[in-house]
Chain A
Amino acid sequence: MHRKLLFKRCYHTLIALFIWMGAAHAQVDENIHIKTVTLGFQQEKLFNALLTLEEASGFQLVFPGEPVKAAHLVELPREERTVAATLQLILRGTGLSFKQTGNTIVLFLETGKNAAPVNPQNVTVRGTVRDEHGEPLPGAVVMPKDETKINGTITDVDGNFLLPDVAANEVLLFSFLGYETREIAIEGRTSINVTLLPGAQLLEEVVVTGYQSIARGKVTGAVSTVNSEALQERYTTNIISNLEGRIAGLVTNGDNITIRGTGSLHAVNNPLIVVDGMPIEGALSDLNPYDVESVTVLKDAAATAMYGSRASAGIIVVTTRKPQVAGRISVDVQANFSIDQKRNLDYADNFLMTPAQQVDAESDYYKYRYITEGTAVNNRVSFRDNTLNKNQPFSPIQYAYYRLGENMTSEAEVNTLLGELRQNNYAKEYGEHILRNHLVQQYNVAVRSMTDKYQSSLVFNYKHDNSGYINEGDNRFTIFYKGEYKMAKWLKLNFGVNSILQNSHYSSYDGWLNKAKDPFSEFAYARLLNEDGGHANNSRFGNGLLTIDPAFRPSHYNALQEMAYDQTRYDRQSSRYNGGLLFYLAEGLTAQGQFIYESERNTSSRFSEAESYLMRMMRNAYTVQKDGSWDYMIPETGGRLVNDNRMGDYWTTRGQVNYSRVFAQRHALDLLAGMEFRETRYKGTRGLLMGYDEQLQTQNTANLDMVSLRAWHSNPYLYDMNTVSFFGLLESGMGLHPEEWHRFASGYGNLTYTYDKKYNLFGSFRKDYADVYGLNSKYRGKPLWSVGASWVASDEAFMKEVSRVDYLKVRTSYGITGNIVPGVNSIMVADTKIPVNTWTQQPRARIDRPANPYLTWEKTATTNIGLDFGLLQARLRGALDFYYKKADDVYALKTLEPTTGFSEMWMNMASLYNKGVELDLTYDWFTGRDRNRLYWSTNMTMAYNHNEITHIESLAKTAGELAGDYQYMKGYPTSAMWSYRYGGLTDEGQRMFLDHENTALTGNQISGKDIEAVIFSGQRDPKITMGLSNTLRYRGFSLAVMAVYYGNYYMRSLQEGTLSSPPGAYNPGPMASYLLDAWTPEHTDTTVPGIFQNDRSSNTDGSGAYNYLDIYVQQADFIKIRNIVLGYDLPQSWTARSGMQQANLRFQIDNPAAVWTRNKLGVDPETGGIRRPSTFILGLTLNL
């Protein structure tokens, strides 16, 4: 055996070893003093004997090249011994010792032996290799740089090495996988201590798919990983926002997350979330951002086919942190304080008229209406009879001009009033009295420990959010425990509990009676507080001029009061329990059972006190006259309490067998097969208490007569009050959240075969079953499969010549995944969850769609071709992927002729595809890992997605049905926007729309035209997304900047509506500032149609047809800096004094004002209006 070859082999073994160490999360580090093998040798060469032992024991042997004597022969009777004993006997007389490190046995020269230099000019060098924390690094490779010299060695368990017989002028290479290789010249020294720093992380990664952990080298699919270091770089309350810009192809759009575009029209398009190997139902926002070790996103079929039907939209695999260092208790403490920039309530900045502008616009109108218009007298009479005398509300300006017209006041008095109103600013007052600085505090303490048998992590997290409004607050406490226990040499147990307790209280908002949380829900010139500090009256019912009967409650409304009188409390308990058993059945063969149970309990209670506006108005609505006296149809006193309880129970159980072996050194096989069962249940109830008094604990709900209340249609006695909506407040308080109950089952298997660590073949098969009720049993189970192949080209001998290429892997995959739309049936069913017949209060059922016995699963076929690469000593590294995702049998609604009784039916009849390119590129400009050297790394992700529907029966038959967003048409993207063409304003300021023959029509008319009258105006989903993050570190300081670009997409914004009259006191509010530019006979150069007396459009614009005019379509492209993080790591010399390992301070700005938008309107494409306020975050991290 040539020494050089042998050494090379060891080196590779070493690399494989650490890949395997990671890969073998599922496997257990067994004890060589317990595990037994049955071996015997007859005059076997030492090397072969060791190989045999390696194969038989399942341990990886790592041994230095030089001292393994090829000539040494081993003689050993065959019998069962412990691995340690066997090894001891094999190594007898070789001078080698061994030590177990995890799943590895390191062989090393016993220090002091064989120390005599062979060549007198040569020296013996000894020393220790340590990591950046000063911990010894066992198994680090020490070898001469001169490749003709072959006498390298590796460090022992204490990180010590001894290298005899090296030239005094030799340069030594110190390397350890995952660490930067260092070159150190001996320069005659005999003792060299080396610290290695973590290096490029391309090679060592292990990909956690949830079902298995597999070396990245073996992966054939498109997989992106963000590790803990990157995740910890910034603080986000939600782990998903931390992934933005870091994973090419993952697009977050508000709460909506898509991976590689929209793949289905009606099925779930959100990715599946897997935590520590099991899929969860819980929200991503519940994941503790401090406790995430890594996030892996599986994008193509080879990666996702294992997950079955829920995987068509991709998978996000989250791995929580584990203890890192054996034998030590580590305590991590983190604290973050984030404070929002105060909300910008400036009317002009929010595209609204300022108070003065609104006063002017409104007074112009009422002056015309009550003074100058030909029918002014009649208008005033109408106001008197129908508004004043019927106690209907009005605006102060309206009333002033009415009085002026009736000569009840003077022009001077009116002008004084207007002058006063111009000085008011409701939103500003609102900001002063109702808003406060939005402050979020989050604290996290993690205690972790690890011994040979036991690993445990205990994490506490507390978050307080003051919501930014007075009288509000949100508290969330999370406790998480995760443990792993090696019960026996053949059994490992893991278990975890995650429990969230949350309670919050906030002001109710119903958008009708209570709009207290909306600063733009009153006239801009209104007041929140009167001059004397009292609460201003902004009632929507009643004008206060009528002396009403004391039977009725006052109609005073003030947002500040409602913030206190109408509150909602929210309580939540959410728990997740998971456990698993792992059995070692035989060599390389394990079996495991896993179980996860999630339980979610939510209660929200809206209590509208008797003094709340809602209760007062509701009481008035149900105050009726009976035999000449007043009668109350709802309790005369007390408030309304609506409790809403929801509970979710979800479990998944999985049984799986793994087999993993290397045969004859070159053939590696990873095989797994298993079954999975899953059930989800979600349900809830709502309960109403009327006449509720919190103090006295009384209520009077049983007196309600729902049928009579429903029949009481309007109350003429007070304000002509329509009571339908009030009845809704009663009816909606009772009822249930219909139970959603689903079951899924599947059987699966997959196989990875690796030859020579270079060539990988992958195949997976899964059959999914779901409770698609009545789905033809022939179709109920859906076979899903995938195949993949990859080639690590850089390991080929010929590639070694290409010195710039350190790593190059080519991979490809193809697979079929399935999808279903929940609630779709192939037999006729009636929906019984619908509310009762409101008139009779009888339960009922409705058949919504006819049966289609031919329903089957949606089929998504994904092809992926990818390239992973590392160049220039892996300073430049990344991945490039091309994909083509074709979905057939996509669920769509087919139009039915109405004579059938139905209008549409589910059919597997649409097809669509997504294709795209994804690039993930990292370049290290400066690689300094140690504190005093500059480190600068840039990561860029880019994704391009093209989405197109290739077949569908369009449901839109008229222009009106097509105009809008997300209307599906063949040949267009799923997020297509369809618009009318702007036809200018007529001589009367009336807005017109152009059809395809350039005929100018009103909105009412064009909506009935053929679909040709509508044009395509781009897609709403970005076609290109990019993320750019830069990280710099120097002398403990760090700076990280993340910027994103969303491009090639469109939005609608600032559609210019028209107004026939100013906002009335029934529904007050500011006016849009574009109305200042409205058409008048004198001002015709505008796109805003005439308003008020010039309004010719509101009756002819159709139901909002103007919203879909092409002139309001803007390019939505933007570049934003998401956050800038400035950090400082305290020097170890300081921290050590206080017993800390590490201390880090961080200052972060989220959403800084640095924004570039393609549109010139100043509209933020993400909000459709003003940009989000910046957030300033102060963070502290301590490792004890």
Chain B
Amino acid sequence: MPKLFALLLLIPLVGGCSEFTDITPKGQSILNKVEELELLLNDDYMQLQSWEPMYLLNDNIPAQNVIQLITRHEEGIPSVESVLLTWDETVDRTSINQDPQQYLYGAFYGIIGRIANPIIANVDNAAGNASKAAQIKAEAYVLRAYFHYLAVNFYAKAYNPATAATDGGVPYMFEDFPINELAEKRSVQEVYDFILADLDAAFALEALPDNPARMRVGKAFAHAVKAKVLMAMRDYNGADAAAAASLVINDKLLDHRSDRLAIPMPPFDIPFFDRPKFNDEELFYQMSSFTMRYIFSPDLLASFDPNDILLNHGELENNVATYLTGGVLMNQGGNMTSVAGVQAWFHYVMAGDFKVHYSINSLTTVDMYLTRAECLLRGGEGNIQAAMAILEKLRVRRINTNGYAALPVGTKADAIAALKQVARHENFATSKNFIDMKRWNASETEWQSTLTKTLTLAPQGFMPRGGNPMNGWDPIPPVMTRSYSLRPDSPLWIFPFPQAATNYNPNLTQNF
């Protein structure tokens, strides 16, 4: 009997090993609940910097010793940065190491592959609130459309109705893509068609919110994406309608004149301008601004009105010399000290950090106003007045009241020049300048433009004027002068697919 008792004690141990170990470990979701899928959409999109377009358009210059960068380039050792700086078309960009700026391709497709597609694939079978399910599915469709739109604009030719069907585009990644297969490159036309189809699918769900949470997709952003896509496809009526639909939901503009001017506190005498994060202009806060300093080029600076509040109060340092030679930057930044090799570019100023917040790859209400303005101008001479009125609506909020003067209403060409100028500084240091300029350059010869620049480079430092510091300082005389130009149909407008992709996928032939 006691021995029987002994055996009884052991019986509970004889159970199913497989069942015992079939547990869901904590801290993971198997993507079968709507609320858990939604967590994927709360990403911070931090990885989306866009250095290449900024370097190409001189919204920024590489944070390296530029003299050495150019010297090495001329000695036959190019780098991604030196090619973008020198606009050198002769370099085989696919063979140089692309490492420093390779995040973007992976980041675009990462959002598609890790956020959008898993939601689209799983949401229909997930348990939970049906309207929430529809909402996140629609958000996923918009994200998939938008990041394909960015990808096709970075890595392929701008949309040209005449050749889009045959121009090489980018892969379009769907939710059922088998991971062990190779992605197929689509034509530009196909990519745009898929983008529109995804946007339509999103709208058809009728679930996007008017007032989305921060850093989430709402209806205004969806319409904005559609406006930009149709604009690229030169469907100006469609684009205008979409932009208008977006503005119906959100037409807010920041008013730099009153909103954010702070009273200076000792020991400082400049009132700081504060363009906040998560402001109402941003339709999709796709990337949070982080500590970054941009060195603006003269043409970007020139696009600002001299009385622009951002320029004068945005804690932009207009005495870059002190940054280049003084202690602050060296101690805080590290690699920025090397910029000291650039000396003639004194006009470059720094911004970005401090209080000026903006998304680099996102869309804003400003983009919708600009879209409407352009659509008006595309519509005919009769709309110039209306288009200029839209631009003034922006300008008046950006310029100190006592310095503001409306632009004269002139020809269509004048108006388009004004539009380009406003867009240039409104979208400083973003990929939107790049995409717009590439679009203007695409095939309409009358709007194409060749970019030029002259670099005068010297070793770092100043010398006292006439040997007496009381007279002030002069830069050390230049040792190197270089002039470069970028033609509208340069292959440099198309970025190469990264080696990380082409090494593994022979389908990804370059589009330039």
Contact = CB atoms under 8 A, between A and B. Distances in A.
B29 A832 contact: yes
A957 B498 CA distance: 13
A577 interface: no
Contact of A714 (B262, B354, B498): B354
A1064 B331 contact: yes
B107 to A, nearest CB: 9
Q: Bin chain A's interface residue count.
A: 35 or more
A1100 B68 contact: yes
A773 B28 contact: yes
Nearest to A655: B13
Interface stretch (A191-199, A379-387, A635-643): A379-387
A673 to B, nearest CB: 11
A739 B462 contact: no
Interface stretch (A135-143, A255-263, A289-297, A715-723): A715-723
A655 B337 contact: no
A1061 B77 CA distance: 28
Given A677-B20, A832-B36, A378 B462 contact: yes
A490 interface: yes
Contacts of A774: 30
Interface stretch (A116-124, A233-241, A353-361, A833-841): A833-841
Nearest to B20: A745
Given A899-B183, A1060-B337, A846 B40 contact: yes
Interface stretch (B51-59, B111-119, B245-253): B111-119
Contacts of B26: 683, 738-741, 833
B267 interface: yes
B500 A387 contact: no
Contact of A897 (B9, B330, B505): B505
Given A593-B13, A724-B291, A839-B277, A899 B508 contact: yes
Interface residues of B, number: 105
Contact of A769 (B17, B39, B499): B17
B238 interface: no
B462 A899 contact: no
Contacts of B23: 741, 743, 771, 773
Contact of A716 (B288, B315, B322): B315
B44 interface: yes
A326 to B, nearest CB: 26
Given A385-B326, A898-B110, A830 B355 contact: no
B325 interface: yes
Nearest to A654: B13
A471 interface: no
A379 B325 contact: yes
Interface stretch (B171-179, B407-415, B440-448): B171-179
A843 B42 contact: yes
Nearest to A822: B25
Contacts of B500: 895, 897-898, 903, 957
Interface centre among B17, B23, B504 (most CB of A within 10 A): B17
A386 B460 CA distance: 17
A781 B328 contact: no
A253 to B, nearest CB: 30
A665 to B, nearest CB: 28
Interface in B464-512: 464, 469, 473, 476, 498-501, 503-505, 508
Contact of A957 (B6, B42, B503): B503
A106 to B, nearest CB: 30
Interface in A695-751: 711, 713-714, 716-717, 720, 722, 724, 738-747
A491 interface: yes
Contacts of B92: none
Nearest to A844: B42
Contact of B173 (A374, A742, A827, A899): A899
Interface in A298-331: none
Contact of A773 (B24, B36, B213): B24
A958 B99 contact: yes
Contacts of B498: 898
Contacts of A348: none
Contacts of A1001: 77
Nearest to A897: B504
A1099 B504 CA distance: 33
Interface in B175-189: 177, 179, 182-183
B63 to A, nearest CB: 10
A549 interface: yes
B382 interface: no
Given A713-B355, A716-B268, A897-B500, A830 B40 contact: yes
B215 A840 contact: yes
Contacts of A713: 291, 353-355
B21 A771 contact: yes
B25 A773 contact: yes
A837 B77 contact: no
B27 A739 contact: yes
A900 B109 contact: yes
A770 B23 CA distance: 9
Contact of B267 (A389, A488, A591, A1009): A389
Contacts of A777: 18, 22
A827 B173 CA distance: 20
B461 A843 contact: no
A383 B461 CA distance: 14
A845 B213 contact: no
Interface in B255-306: 262-263, 265-268, 272, 276-278, 285, 288, 290-291
A655 B338 CA distance: 69
Contacts of A1066: 331
Nearest to B330: A1061
A738 B26 CA distance: 7
A829 B17 contact: no
Nearest to A833: B27
Interface string A1108-1120: 0000000000000
A654 B14 CA distance: 10
Given A383-B327, A770-B21, A900-B109, A905 B79 contact: no
B21 A769 contact: yes
A390 interface: yes
Contact of A377 (B64, B115, B473, B508): B473
B36 A1100 contact: no
Interface string B88-119: 00000000110100000110011111110110
B43 interface: yes
A585 B6 contact: yes
Given A829-B28, A832-B36, 19 more contacts: A374-B461, A382-B321, A385-B322, A386-B326, A675-B14, A745-B15, A769-B20, A823-B25, A830-B28, A830-B29, A837-B43, A844-B44, A845-B36, A847-B114, A851-B179, A900-B177, A902-B179, A960-B99, A1004-B64
* Interchain residue pairs A-B with the least CB separation, the first 7: A901-B113, A1008-B97, A382-B326, A833-B27, A375-B461, A845-B39, A844-B42
19 contacts: A593-B13, A625-B263, A713-B354, A717-B268, A724-B291, A740-B25, A781-B18, A829-B31, A833-B28, A839-B285, A840-B213, A843-B39, A898-B110, A899-B113, A899-B171, A901-B112, A902-B114, A1004-B79, A1100-B65
Interface of B: 2-3, 6-7, 9-10, 13-15, 17-18, 20-31, 36, 39-40, 42-44, 64-65, 68, 72, 77, 79, 96-97, 99, 105-106, 109-115, 117-118, 171, 173, 177, 179, 182-183, 213-215, 262-263, 265-268, 272, 276-278, 285, 288, 290-291, 315, 321-323, 325-328, 330-332, 335, 337-338, 353-355, 460-464, 469, 473, 476, 498-501, 503-505, 508
Interface of A: 373-375, 377-379, 381-383, 385-387, 389-392, 394, 488, 490-491, 546, 549, 581, 583, 585, 591, 593, 625, 627-628, 653-655, 657, 675, 677, 683, 711, 713-714, 716-717, 720, 722, 724, 738-747, 767, 769-771, 773-774, 777, 780-781, 823, 825, 827-833, 836-840, 842-847, 850-852, 895-903, 905, 957-958, 960, 1001, 1004-1005, 1007-1009, 1060-1061, 1064, 1066, 1099-1100
